[in-house]
Structure 1
Amino acid sequence: MSLADDMFQALMDSSPLNAAMLGIPGWENELGDLTVEGQRTARDRIAGLLDRAETDDSEDPVTLAVIRQQGRAVVDRIDAKLVEHTVATMSAPVNSLLLLSSKVDVSQRLGQFPRYIAQAGERVRQSDRRPLSRHLATGVQRMDGFLAQPEQEWEGGHSAEIRAAVAGFRDVLASVEDGRGDDQAGLCWLPDGERNYANLVRNYTTTSRTPDELHRLGLDIIASLREEYAGIGSRLWGTSDVAEIFHRLRTDLLWDDEEQMIASAVDAIARAEAEAPKWFGRMPSVACQVLAVPEEERSTSAIAFYQPAPADRSRPGTYWLNPLGATERSRTLSEVTAFHEAVPGHHYQFSIAGETELPTLRKYAFIEAYLEGWGLYTERLADEMGLYSSDEQRLGMLGLDAMRASRLVVDTGLHAFGWSRQQAVDYLRDNTVMTEPEIHSEIDRYIETPGQALAYMVGRLEIQRVRAEAQERMGERFDVRAFHDLVVGSGAVPLSTLDQIVTAWSVAP
């Protein structure tokens, strides 16, 4: 096999659940190994492939860049030992396993669930990298919620074994008496935290920007967004007072019911699909459906997320919406979230790349700065496309911009500068329109997935930059449809590589 194929095989072997989520055949019987020894074996295998990449001349430069980025990302995440203190959010191994079991066919893996769950518990039990005390309590609560549900009739008689394993994991979390306090929330309080965070920042952003640079960038963007808020607020309500605009967004523009939330998403996606041919030359062959998260999963699920169509296209791509607490949530976020997660965001991104002739690794590479950068880019692109139905919905666009810019400030604050959890909560409260439950959920996510939240804004700014430079170089020759086809059709790549791809395209005769 080629080096790219070898790396793809190693990546999927190290995390077969990624293959399950993407619908890639070949790993139906696997869950992976969370033990220290198992992680070390996976790391050594991938590190060996990275060594090969230093001298291999059989791959083209773009594919080689993806190989290096993907391999280094896994090595650095294993080295950071995040599995030992990630227990509360959907990044946690047990939480993600239970969520995935309702989204894809896991029947051939069920016999391995108890082993995998026990391994997750053992890593927490043996580690000196304690989770936050509040996260331990949240983890216990979520395991109790699972155990309180009617017993699931899984194939092969595995239900009792799985429930026993979940109960055992719950007991491990409950037994940890020296969890970290909220004043020591970030990686900088853990062994090798500074080095691990620097590596994670590099891998999630695919840039050389330092935490300090990213922190200051976020502060600058937040300041500029306040001017945009004031402009739309003046048109909509006759006020430029940002505090009043924030108050109205939090309290006045809420959903009437769950059905209204779902209908709005369906309508937004339909309008985006109708307009897309003016902005894309290539369309995905697979549809995008909108589904509500099942009721039993709503308390632990994200508010919205996208699940790609499987490789065999046996089902559509799916935009999952969580209606939990709909009547207490702002309706202004409806359209912007649909454009980001579905059309022309992640649905176009994953579907079009999956239908190219790219190497398999390039079709399915998970490079956050590219993937989430594209999603955030399409939120502003949707305004260019005339997709927002009102100024209310444009305020939602600004609201998500503010959240992503605040992530630059808060993620680096927590993990590089020693912020307490409360400092992070206060910053989001003062600079975004998120509700209190959303703020606390976001902060817990940043704590347990260090660096990931930086990818969104960094990626968007880079895509906007390379587009602007291509337009300047090409003048009237610039075709936005061809630009979008190039970016999406190249698959996920590091941002520096995307710059090279677009530059080569824009200077070609």
Structure 2
Amino acid sequence: MKQEKNKASMIWLLGLLGVLAIAPLARAQQQQPADFDAWAEGVAVERMRAEPTGSTFRQYLPPAEQQLLDRQLTPNTPAYRAERIAVARTNLQQLERFERARLTPQQRSSAAVIEWSLRGAIEAEPFADYEFVFNQFRGLHVNLVNFLSQAHPIRNAQDIDNYLARLGQVADRMDSGIARAKDAAGRGFLMPRFITEASLGQFERFLADVPARNVLVVSLEQRAARLSTVTPEARAQAVAAAEKIVAESIIPAFRRAQALLQEQLPRSGMDAGLWRLPGGDKAYAYELRRNTTTDYLPEQIHRLGLAEVARIEGQMDTLLRRLGYRDGSVKDRYEKLEADLQPKGEGDPRPALLARFDTLLRDAEQRARLLFDITPKAPLVVRREPLFTEKTAAAHYSSPAKDGSLPGIFWAPLPGPGYRIADMRTLAYHEGVPGHHFQIALQQETTSLPRYRRDGVFAGGSAFAEGWALYAEQLAAESGWYEEKVGEPAADKGPDIAGRLGQLSAELFRARRLVVDTGLHAMKWTRQQAIDYGIPAHEVDRYVVNPGQACAYKIGQLHILALRGKAQQALGERFSLKAFHSLLLQTGNVPLAVLSQVVDEWVARQAKT
């Protein structure tokens, strides 16, 4: 353990020396656009050296150095956070020395993304207490388990050894998190009671099995079994070592965190929004800025959501009547449709549902050829969300590994007993094709982008990424994909009205999010009010601990649609939808203001041709 900490310290020293070495270069050659690329890459390398977990996702550094980082977990101490803020301030000062007008258009976009990311890191620091350490959605315990069991690569014997080294650091990271949670609670920052209860449920599930059946052991055992280069004896030794670490180190640490939450539970209340906390209005304003990449006020977003809800419900009413659902509210009638679509017969329906998702993805890949000039080389698969997080998880996408060891993955939670059937198509389009898989995998594969933008080293916010995925849902509907059913017998190939309702329901869901997220955090809505408005309880709980993020989808989608309309109007017959899509996808994830600038410059170039 001491050796691992010494290695981590060496990584820190190298990273900080790298920042100091960059500064004179930026001062000496601040007028040279070529120097910007070297500076930006240096900042990205330093960041990856300081964030081993993120570096593993991206495999960013030379092999020998990456191997060292792949044995580390990113620190989570106050000292670490303070050092990262100091580095961000230094980087921002260096960036300001570059004259933007002298940079190329690509460099200007990169500079804007880097600046946005650095300022966000600095602006976030006063609001660190609002990110509850052990929340049920993206808490430390969730992130550690998911990263190790799903994302840490197991490609060879060295990866297995790295995995065991990281397992040995989990308890230390959990204890750092416990200390932070205790400190925040002492200043009045407690999670709502229902969030604490949801997190305690996760701890109970994690601790329920014997160490040999713990997800961290089983994941290693299953993935190592696929390696022909590792002997059965070596695999057995590694699994036994993992079981020992889990039993002697990780489970006790998880019990300590569980005990903390159990102690805090009687002191927690039922108020849901950030308004309940000191400075909550400022924290929420920050979260909206970071997630939507705009300066919209909560009241503006709330009104926009109400208008979108009314518009979409009108469309759904018409289609529900076509299917014979005439009585009751749109919400009640759609729920009746979903009840009627539930799997029939005995046995577990989930394998068939996963197979249907796969069919939908393969069909979408064929249809997308008419709308896109470029498609990802990386494959896409669908997998069921692990049991540890299935009850609280939302469907999501994880990006492919650059070395091909992992495909793009659409993670589908199927906890049951009821299942979302009508919106299976639009969910596949959102998480997969042409949604997140196209956007994220193509960003990784676009060689015209600097490597740090391909790999998302500098955050661009949620608005473009989630806006694109919601745009992809609407694009499928606009393009007639619901004019026929998919995977049905030849005799039943008519219009997929239920699927189209599922698409509208998904869009309505995102519009309701605008109303509910702002309602919870700015207008003192209760959790029950949000549920009564049409949002499932587990989704409401997600917004409670991840404020503002639910607003990114609709804001981003509407912005992309506005940019498309503006470009169509300016270019007329010269407008190419395929070219527009290529432009957006090859720009990568950027704040919406940067995206607007990129599109405006593209329109100006097209107008001259």
TM-score (norm 1): 0.92
SS in structure 2 opposite 1:383?
helix
In the alignment, the residues of structure 2 paired with residue 3 and residue 289 of structure 1 have an alpha-carbon distance, to the nearest angstrom, of: 37
Give the counterpart of 1:333 among 409, 423, 432. Answer: 423
In the alignment, the residues of structure 1 paired with residue 89 and residue 530 of structure 2 have an alpha-carbon distance, to the nearest angstrom, of: 35
| 1:249-260 alignment, distance < 5 Å | 249-256=337-344, 257-260=349-352
| 1:28-67 alignment, distance < 5 Å | 28-57=70-99, 60-67=107-114
Answer yes or no: is the 8 Å Cα contact 2:53–2:70 preserved in 1: no
- Cα 1:216/1:150, change in 2 over 3 Å: same
Alignment match, 1:469: 566
Answer yes or no: is the 8 Å Cα contact 1:84–1:124 preserved in 2: no
SS in structure 2 opposite 1:289?
strand
Alignment match, 2:499: 393
Q: Which is bigger in relative contact order (C-alpha 8 A, separation at least 6)?
A: 1
Answer yes or no: is the 8 Å Cα contact 1:87–1:135 preserved in 2: no
Alignment match, 2:399: 308
* Residue-by-residue CA offset, 1:146-174 (whole Å, 9 max, x unaligned): 11123144644422211111111111111
- Cα 1:191/1:276, change in 2 over 3 Å: same
In the alignment, the residues of structure 2 paired with residue 215 and residue 125 of structure 1 have an alpha-carbon distance, to the nearest angstrom, of: 34
In the alignment, the residues of structure 1 paired with residue 546 and residue 129 of structure 2 have an alpha-carbon distance, to the nearest angstrom, of: 8
Q: Give the drift of 1:317.
A: 1.0
| 1:22-33 alignment, distance < 5 Å | 22=58, 24=60, 26=66, 27-33=69-75
Answer yes or no: is the 8 Å Cα contact 1:218–1:409 preserved in 2: yes
Answer with 122-131 or 153-162: which moved more.
153-162
Give the counterpart of 1:371 among 454, 465, 478. Answer: 465
Answer yes or no: is the 8 Å Cα contact 1:229–1:245 preserved in 2: no
In the alignment, the residues of structure 2 paired with residue 376 and residue 224 of structure 1 have an alpha-carbon distance, to the nearest angstrom, of: 16
In the alignment, the residues of structure 1 paired with residue 430 and residue 126 of structure 2 have an alpha-carbon distance, to the nearest angstrom, of: 32
Give the counterpart of 1:110 among 160, 167, 175. Answer: 167
In the alignment, the residues of structure 2 paired with residue 219 and residue 472 of structure 1 have an alpha-carbon distance, to the nearest angstrom, of: 28
Residue ranges of structure 2 left out of the alignment (5+ in a row)? 1-21, 23-37, 153-162, 221-237, 486-495
In the alignment, the residues of structure 1 paired with residue 420 and residue 437 of structure 2 have an alpha-carbon distance, to the nearest angstrom, of: 24
Answer yes or no: is the 8 Å Cα contact 1:7–1:71 preserved in 2: no
Q: Give the drift of 1:244.
A: 4.6
Answer yes or no: is the 8 Å Cα contact 1:143–1:166 preserved in 2: yes
SS in structure 2 opposite 1:52?
helix
Answer yes or no: is the 8 Å Cα contact 2:350–2:414 preserved in 1: yes
Residue ranges of structure 1 left out of the alignment (5+ in a row)? 430-438
Q: What one-letter code is carried by the residue in structure 1 that aligns with 2:194?
A: R
Q: Give the drift of 1:12.
A: 4.0
Q: Give the drift of 1:41.
A: 1.7
In the alignment, the residues of structure 1 paired with residue 129 and residue 430 of structure 2 have an alpha-carbon distance, to the nearest angstrom, of: 28
Q: Does 2:522 align with 1:416?
A: yes
Answer yes or no: is the 8 Å Cα contact 1:291–1:321 preserved in 2: yes
Answer with 172-181 or 137-146: which moved more.
172-181
Q: What one-letter code is carried by the residue in structure 2 that aligns with 1:137?
A: E
* Residue-by-residue CA offset, 1:375-406 (whole Å, 9 max, x unaligned): 11000011123323311011111111111111
Q: Give the drift of 1:269.
A: 0.8
Give the counterpart of 2:531 among 415, 418, 425. Answer: 425
Q: What one-letter code is carried by the residue in structure 2 that aligns with 1:477?
A: R
Answer yes or no: is the 8 Å Cα contact 2:76–2:173 preserved in 1: yes
Q: Does 2:256 align with 1:175?
A: no
Give the % identical residues.
30
Q: What one-letter code is carried by the residue in structure 1 that aligns with 2:398?
A: Q
- Cα 1:482/1:98, change in 2 over 3 Å: same
Q: Does 2:591 align with 1:494?
A: yes
Answer yes or no: is the 8 Å Cα contact 1:304–1:319 preserved in 2: yes
* Residue-by-residue CA offset, 1:40-99 (whole Å, 9 max, x unaligned): 221221122223223323762100111012222333333311466242323111112112
In the alignment, the residues of structure 2 paired with residue 381 and residue 178 of structure 1 have an alpha-carbon distance, to the nearest angstrom, of: 48
Answer yes or no: is the 8 Å Cα contact 2:203–2:254 preserved in 1: yes
Q: Give the drift of 1:421.
A: 1.7
Answer yes or no: is the 8 Å Cα contact 2:364–2:429 preserved in 1: yes
Alignment match, 1:435: none
SS in structure 2 opposite 1:291?
strand
Give the counterpart of 2:180 among 101, 105, 123. Answer: 123
SS in structure 2 opposite 1:109?
helix
- Cα 1:10/1:368, change in 2 over 3 Å: farther
Answer yes or no: is the 8 Å Cα contact 1:94–1:120 preserved in 2: no
Answer yes or no: is the 8 Å Cα contact 2:205–2:388 preserved in 1: no
Q: Does 2:271 align with 1:217?
A: no
Q: What one-letter code is carried by the residue in structure 2 that aligns with 1:373?
A: G
- Cα 1:175/1:292, change in 2 over 3 Å: same
Answer yes or no: is the 8 Å Cα contact 2:338–2:421 preserved in 1: no
Alignment match, 1:262: 354
Alignment match, 1:433: none
SS in structure 1 opposite 2:533?
helix
In the alignment, the residues of structure 1 paired with residue 377 and residue 585 of structure 2 have an alpha-carbon distance, to the nearest angstrom, of: 14
- Cα 1:381/1:108, change in 2 over 3 Å: farther
Give the counterpart of 1:200 among 287, 294, 298. Answer: 287
Q: What one-letter code is carried by the residue in structure 1 that aligns with 2:174?
A: I
Q: Give the drift of 1:23.
A: 5.3
Answer yes or no: is the 8 Å Cα contact 2:531–2:537 preserved in 1: yes
Q: What one-letter code is carried by the residue in structure 1 that aligns with 2:555?
A: V
Give the counterpart of 1:71 among 111, 118, 129. Answer: 118
Alignment match, 2:375: 283
Answer with 451-460 or 11-20: which moved more.
11-20
Alignment match, 1:434: none
Alignment match, 1:226: 313
Answer yes or no: is the 8 Å Cα contact 1:3–1:49 preserved in 2: no
Alignment match, 2:324: 237
Alignment match, 2:273: 186
In the alignment, the residues of structure 2 paired with residue 428 and residue 111 of structure 1 have an alpha-carbon distance, to the nearest angstrom, of: 44
Answer yes or no: is the 8 Å Cα contact 2:137–2:545 preserved in 1: no
* Residue-by-residue CA offset, 1:469-501 (whole Å, 9 max, x unaligned): 101111111111111010000111111111111
Answer with 481-490 or 100-109: which moved more.
100-109
Q: Does 2:435 align with 1:345?
A: yes
Answer with 390-399 or 86-95: which moved more.
86-95
Q: Does 2:522 align with 1:480?
A: no
- Cα 1:266/1:483, change in 2 over 3 Å: same
Q: Give the drift of 1:243.
A: 4.7
- Cα 1:202/1:186, change in 2 over 3 Å: same
Please report the RMSD computed on the Cα atoms of aligned residues, expressed in angstroms.
2.2
Q: Does 2:92 align with 1:92?
A: no
Answer with 101-110 or 149-158: which moved more.
149-158
* Residue-by-residue CA offset, 1:179-218 (whole Å, 9 max, x unaligned): 44222x2112212211121111111111111111111110
Q: Give the drift of 1:20.
A: 3.7
Q: What one-letter code is carried by the residue in structure 2 that aligns with 1:255?
A: P
Q: What one-letter code is carried by the residue in structure 2 that aligns with 1:63?
A: S
- Cα 1:36/1:344, change in 2 over 3 Å: same
Q: Give the drift of 1:310.
A: 1.0
Q: Give the drift of 1:4.
A: 2.6
Q: What one-letter code is carried by the residue in structure 2 that aligns with 1:456?
A: Y
